[in-house]
Chains A and B, each alone.
Chain A
Amino acid sequence: MTVKKLPLAKAINESLRTALEADPKVLVMGEDVGKLGGVFRVTDGLQKDFGEDRVIDTPLAESGIVGTAIGLALRGYRPVVEIQFDGFVFPAYDQIVTQLAKMHARALGKIKVPVVIRIPYGGGIGAVEHHSESPEALFAHVAGLKVVTPSNSSDAYWMLQQAIQSDDPVIFFEPKRRYWDKGEVTTDAIPGPLHKAKTVREGTDATLVAYGPMVKTCLEAAAAAAEEGKSLEVVDLRSVSPIDFDTVQASVEKTGRLVVVHEAPVFFGSGAEIAARITERSFYHLEAPVLRVGGFHSPYPPARVEEDYLPGLDRVLDAVDRSLAY
């Protein structure tokens, strides 16, 4: 058994390397992914080892990147596209929504477009505008796309392997502020299903559901709550489309309380969908309304106030207190 301790970004790098080695049809494309190794160095060293035709520095044009990736997929390739930052995906949104998501259905299943779109997302790194957003709900809303987001190094490695192997388009959101967090990766383990949620901390008083960068925040909140004698269960959703409601439901029916936490704005966010579904599924088990903690209905704020915008330990615990007080 091979166990490595890797930062999340390095786990993705290793995962890409494994995929490039395993399948000659896998390509990595994006702005600065080649010689530079990506602005976060996620693709560091790959072009050197696999060549410019497999790790492709593209023109600075997101729609062009995704649009040509679709064409390459139609030719039998499996492109893994990098969008440099969350806020830059929108020039490609048309290609993703009107073409990538719909082509398999349009062709009555006769063609497949296995394109993975990697997007570093979320805030907390003190960046300028357009570099800190969490647009996952905008993709989860679109039939034909799958949306996943790892919270730790092991999931980053394995979920990317599975996303590349999927015959469906997958939007792969990477929690950029966790890129440098180290975790154990067992590269010869057999992973669980891609779209299955994981209970990462057991508890009895309330359930916290989170994904991506907020899993760590929720685990810290649960640890702090434990010191106050409150037992919080934390579910790492991992997949935003589809959502593993069964795991969430089982947890809620145990604890009776649910708080959903994400960086994205609460309004029409994935928390709204989870609240609605869990209310339908577990109405008589709920001791309190499902509460949500997330971003506000404002543009992502300047870096000097982002800590007030982002859900932190205190805002999560405040919601837990409100839930428990019902």
Chain B
Amino acid sequence: MTVESTAARTPRSAGSGSKRAGAKTVSAKKDSAPGRGTPRGKSAARGKGGAASSGEPELVQLLTPEGVRVENAAYDSYVADITPDDLRSLYRDMVITRRFDAEAVTLQRQGELGLWPSLLGQEAAQVGSGRATREGDHVFPTYREHGVAWCKGVDPTLLLGMFRGVNNGGWDPNTNGFQLYTIVIGSQTLHATGYAMGVAYDGADSAVIAYLGDGATSQGDVAEAFTFSAVYNAPVVFFCQNNQWAISEPTEKQSRVPLYQRAQGYGFPGVRVDGNDVLACLAVTKWALERARAGEGPALIEAFTYRMGAHTTSDDPTRYRRDEEREAWEAKDPIARLRAFLESEGHADEGFFAELEAESETLGKRVRDVVRSMPDPEPMSIFENVYADGHALVDEERAEFAAYEASFADAPVDAVTGGEVK
């Protein structure tokens, strides 16, 4: 399977245009190359323990934090035909995602949401990997994949219902190939693996991508997903966003080896990518999805990134991590680096950025309006969809509760609701 053929079948993909961006590149010091379609390349894991001499972990990078394009023999081909339009589109996805996320945090502070898990800092990992998927691919997210949801065309306002407490997952997983958020850590990696086994049994030409975090790699379900996917050669890509923190626990509390190296023990390739480099995330995920579609089985991608915010709005990171750490990561910001590249290459002007700013604000306002007008569910909805084929006890309790509710119909003014009968 060639990159070109994939691009031709991937109209939404960033690498699909005909006009090449033509960016100048500089030679990369790190020659991270798993080799296309081959098991586990040598150089992707070349750095022993993952630490290069600079103290930075070795990873696939196509754009430096300063926004300089660096060559990578193994992965350049996956973004070779990327156009300025594609680059602007990737930038737009990241900016919109960040703006949406900030709006959700604000809405939580205002009491409109009960909780929000911010993705701040992880935009490149999510947009790069999300845009690498194509129609027919299937995504199994954690609860933080707001950027991937955006790439898959899920209306962002739908993500907010569960955090407002009006439902437990408000979108149709069949519409966009984007499953519901999974809150139990790691569970979805098994669902993704089973789904991918089904894809293989169907002989379908698509792949599955399972998202997980660094903390999830400690879960038994993730180990079992790695085992099952390897044994059945399932077309699934495990995309692990190592954002360095599982609430208060650093990655060192989860593993004594770099996470991507786990794959080796299961018999499939593992690659670490700069999770704040949207181009690298796009390229590496395309590589992994293509080999999955081609019947070459699973792969693990560790996107090395940073959770710039709290675990959720209920968390207080000042209790367990230093400000300096966050500041160091600010210098690697995923959006700033692509902007630097766009500007240095002359791919975007002030008009583009201003227009995008306006678009983001419009989205923010829409999100606010939609959330504030989300109705509470009807009490009787408690009994809906517990079973697909019904259940006698649910029917009985529904009837009892309805009778109980009805018994208030003639009651005097209710002190709690001010007489308003819901």
Q: Which B residues lie within 8 Å of A241 (CB)?
A: 391, 393
Residue of A66, A67, A111, A244 contacting most chain B CB atoms (<10 Å): A67
Complex CA distance for A225 and B315, rounded to whole angstroms: 65
A95 at the interface (CB under 8 A from B): yes
Selected contact of B197 from candidates A63, A71, A105, CB within 8 Å: A71
Interface range on chain A: under 10, 10 to 19, 20 to 34, or 35 or more?
Answer: 35 or more
In-complex Cβ contact of B227 among A59, A99, A110, A143 (8 A): A59
Whether A98 lies near B388 (C-beta < 8 A) is no
Q: Mark A181-196, 1 if CB is under 8 A from B, else 0.
A: 0000000000000010
Q: Count B-side interface residues using an 8 Å CB cutoff.
A: 42
- Residue in B167, B182, B187, B202 with the greatest tally of chain A CB atoms within 10 Å: B187
A70 vs B184: C-alpha distance in the bound complex, in angstroms?
15
- In the complex, the answer to whether A64 meets B184 with C-beta atoms within 8 Å is no
Pick the contact of B387: A59, A66, A146 (CB < 8 A).
Answer: A146
Contact A104 B190 (CB under 8 A): no
Kindly list chain A residues whose C-beta atoms are within 8 Å of the C-beta of B389: 166-168
B190 in complex: contacting residue of A67, A108, A146, CB < 8 Å: A67
Please measure, in the bound complex, the distance between the C-alpha atom of A74 and the C-alpha atom of B190, giving whole angstroms: 12
Query: Are B228 and A59 interface neighbours, CB within 8 A?
Result: yes
Residue of B nearest to A112 (CB): B388
- Report if A67-B221 is in contact (Cβ < 8 Å); known contacts: A104-B387, A111-B173: yes
Cβ proximity bits A106-149 to B, threshold 8 Å, 1 near / 0 not:
11111110100000000000000000000000000001101000
* Cα-based distance from A109 to B231 in the complex (angstroms): 32
Inter-chain CA distance A112–B172, complex, in Å, is 12
Please report whether the interface of chain B is mostly helix, strand, loop or mixed according to DSSP: helix
Bound Cα distance A150, B389 (Å):
20
Q: When the two chains form their complex, are residues A94 and B187 in contact, meaning their CB atoms are under 8 A apart?
A: yes
Interface residues as binary, B195-233 with A (CB distance below 8 Å gives 1, 0 otherwise): 111110110000000000000000011001101100100
Q: Would A74 and B191 count as touching, CB distance under 8 A?
A: yes
Q: Is the CB of A67 within 8 A of B191?
A: yes
Q: Is B316 an interface residue (CB 8 A)?
A: no
Inter-subunit contact A104/B169 (CB<8 Å): no
Proximity string of chain A (240-278) to chain B, C-beta cutoff 8 Å, 1 when within and 0 when not: 011111000000000000000000000000000000000
Partner of A63, one of B170, B199, B221, B391: B221
Alpha-carbon distance between A53 and B168 when the two chains are bound, in angstroms: 34
Question: When chains A and B are docked, how far (Å) is the Cα of A59 from the Cα of B266?
Answer: 13
Which B residues lie within 8 Å of A313 (CB)?
none
Q: Is the CB of A108 within 8 A of B385?
A: yes
Is A5's beta carbon under 8 Å from chain B? no
Quick one: given A70-B190, A71-B192, A244-B392, are A105 and B228 in contact (CB under 8 Å)? no
Instruction: Decide yes or no whether A58 CB sits under 8 A from chain B.
Output: yes
Q: Is B180 an interface residue (CB 8 A)?
A: yes
Contact of A144 among B180, B191, B387 (CB under 8 A): B387
Contact B227 A168 (CB under 8 A): no
Q: Tell me whether A107 and B190 are in contact in the complex, defined as CB-CB below 8 angstroms, given that A68-B197, A72-B197 are known contacts.
A: no
Say whether B180 contacts A106, CB under 8 Å.
yes
- Which residues of chain A are within 8 angstroms of B385 by Cβ–Cβ distance? 104-105, 107-109
Contact of B193 with A by CB under 8 A: yes
A153 CB, min distance to chain B CBs, angstroms? 25
Q: Is the CB of A64 within 8 A of B221?
A: yes
B252 within 8 A of A: no
- Residues from chain A with a CB closer than 8 A to the CB of B141 are none
CB 8 Å contact bits of B274-299 with A (1 = contact, 0 = none) = 00000000000000000000000000
What residues of B have a CB within 8 angstroms of the CB of A146 in the complex? 387, 391
Is the CB of B142 closer than 8 A to any CB of chain A?
no
Whether A75 contacts B228 by the Cβ 8 Å rule is no
Given contacts A98-B187, A99-B184, are A71 and B227 in contact (CB under 8 A)?
Answer: no
Q: Please pick, from B191, B196, B228, the residue contacting A99 in the complex, using a CB distance under 8 A.
A: B191
B61 CB, nearest partner CB in chain A, Å:
33
CA of A137 to CA of B187, assembled, Å: 24
In angstroms, how far is the closest chain A Cβ from the Cβ of B78?
A: 27
A114-B196 Cα distance, complex, nearest whole Å: 17
- Chain B: which residue is nearest A246 at the CB level? B392
CA A3 to CA B382, docked complex, whole Å: 45
**Chain B nearest Cβ from A242, distance in angstroms:** 4
A302 at the interface (CB under 8 A from B): no
* Known contacts A63-B224, A107-B172, A146-B387: A71-B193 contact under CB 8 Å: yes
A-B contact pairs, 13 of them (CB 8 A): A59-B231, A61-B227, A67-B191, A68-B225, A70-B194, A71-B197, A94-B184, A95-B221, A108-B170, A108-B385, A109-B388, A143-B386, A168-B391
Given contacts A68-B190, A75-B197, 4 further A-B contacts (CB under 8 A): A58-B228, A67-B187, A105-B386, A167-B388
Task: Identify the A interface with B (CB < 8 A).
Answer: 53, 58-59, 61, 63-64, 66-77, 91, 94-95, 98-99, 102-112, 114, 143-144, 146, 166-168, 195, 241-245
Report, nearest first, the 5 A-B pairs whose CB atoms are least far apart. A71-B194, A67-B190, A75-B198, A68-B194, A64-B224
